[in-house]
Amino acid sequence: MHTDVSANLDWLKKYADEFSSNHENDLIIVAGDISDSLEVLRTTLAILKGTFGAGVAFVPGNHDLWCGTLDRGVGALCACACAC
């Protein structure tokens, strides 16, 4: 998704505003690489949770593992888990 690119995050917000009622019974699987910013990761997951009523399954990618304030890897994975 790379929503740390503002155009991608803007597109997601627009999509969520226009189509959230179409996905109230849907689950989305996000296969990583949302952002290397914990704030953007949290924002993106919140948008997805609000759009897909059945939930969000998130598997962190290599970019997401750079968003922790602790040491890279395990610390970042914990930060990603807390964002969910």
**pLDDT tens track for 5-60:** 999 999 999 999 888 788 989 999 998 888 888 888 889 999 999 999 999 998 88
- The CA distance from 4 to 9, in Å, is 7
Provide the pLDDT for residue 28.
93
Give the pLDDT confidence score for residue 35 in this predicted structure.
Answer: 86
Q: What is the pLDDT of residue 21?
A: 83
Q: Where are the alpha helices (DSSP H) in 1-84?
A: 6-19, 38-51, 74-83
Residue 36 has what pLDDT? 82
Question: What's the CA gap between 54 and 66, in Å, rounded?
Answer: 28
Tokens 């226009």 correspond to 18
Ordered DSSP codes for 57-80: EE---TTGGG--SSSTTHHHHHHH
pTM greater than 0.95: no
What pLDDT is attached to residue 3? 93
